[in-house]
Structure 1
């Protein structure tokens, strides 16, 4: 996909395990009402049929709000539900091969955890990169140790693609994440686990707006 830009501010990610009994449809609906313009479906523990049914519902919901819908890891699922794209990890299928399957117009994101991976990601054919985990995170058990804010600052200084900061980001550290170069951030449990999701996103947006606007990369 050419000239792709990540929506500013927030990148929504599902995590029904931390949603206090609420469905992904309910939580994502509130994200979209609060103005989030990109949502990734990431549910590792569900069956293929459960994922398929949920993604069909969320694909319809995101279209209604004019938001992008990304599927984590599963290229076939992304194709089946006509998602806007897929987000890949370092151990998933290579970006060039996934690009061949999805075509030039679909979005491909790639997680990175080091300067070496970031540099490789810039020339991989991905449309955007993930940068993290910045802090310890509870939503993924197979993740590398926190990479810290120095890596985020490195990404900001060397980026030729949009990137999203992720991993353990909360209200109390969001300002420093912004100050170190993040224009787009993913706060998973902080949002899906909030009692009042719309109110929480408004609070987080206020924190971002209190930090000077970053210049585009």
Structure 2
């Protein structure tokens, strides 16, 4: 059973202002959504709490009328302050059960997984705790310096088989994904593609998003 709150995650943008080529983040996000992004995760590790809240409110005002969920990375306080649809948690963040108790049953909660052992622990969580998994990194990525050695395509396939035999929660693949490898990542078991630099640093974020969204549509048949 897929996570009860998970929408069609499809093309999933993870933000990074430093990669936006000097453009305002809301401008890049607006273009990305116009190109086919279905979920936006605000991940701004260098932002102060005030900045984070202001950015979150600006993105929520942009995304809410379009029906695109806003997910806040790590910071449950920011998610609550801006009224975001959910939060994405890493392995060193608040435990999932506590996060679910704080955010409530309707919030969209994702969990980053870097190893098969972490995936098996997550699979043991009760239904309704986690809505989707973020497998990270699939391929080498310079945008997350603290990432582990990587799943690789074979590891992604193994994870997909493990989840299909259990919770059937959606898998969002992140790490080094761009148009040249997106189809292979999907064929190996990803249900959605999370992208940072391939959109944020693209000369035309809308065109870059459209290209990736088209690959998703083709692979899904």
TM-score normalized with structure 1 length:
0.92
SS across alignment from 1:211? helix
Task: Give the distance between the partners of 2:58 and 2:39, measured in 1 at CA.
Answer: 15
Cα pair 1:39 1:70 within 8 Å, conserved: yes
SS across alignment from 1:185? strand
Task: Give the distance between the partners of 1:167 and 1:80, measured in 2 at CA.
Answer: 29
How many residue pairs match? The answer is 213
Task: Give the distance between the partners of 2:52 and 2:110, measured in 1 at CA.
Answer: 19
- How big is the alpha-carbon RMSD for the aligned residues of Structure 1 and Structure 2? 1.6
Matches within 5 A, 1:1-217: 3-124=4-125, 125-159=129-163, 160-211=168-219, 213=221
**Cα gap change, 1:22 to 1:88, in 2 (>3 Å):** same
Cα pair 2:74 2:88 within 8 Å, conserved: yes
Which blocks of at least 5 consecutive residues in structure 2 are unaligned?
none
SS across alignment from 1:87? strand
More relative contact order, 1 or 2 (CA 8 Å, 6+ apart): 2
- Per-residue displacement from partner, 1:110-146 (whole Å, max 9, x unpaired)? 0001111112112332111111201111111111122
Offset, 1:207: 2.7
SS across alignment from 1:39? strand
SS across alignment from 2:134? strand
Which blocks of at least 5 consecutive residues in structure 1 are unaligned?
none
SS across alignment from 1:133? coil
Cα pair 2:136 2:147 within 8 Å, conserved: no
Cα pair 1:6 1:163 within 8 Å, conserved: no
TM-score normalized with structure 2 length:
0.91
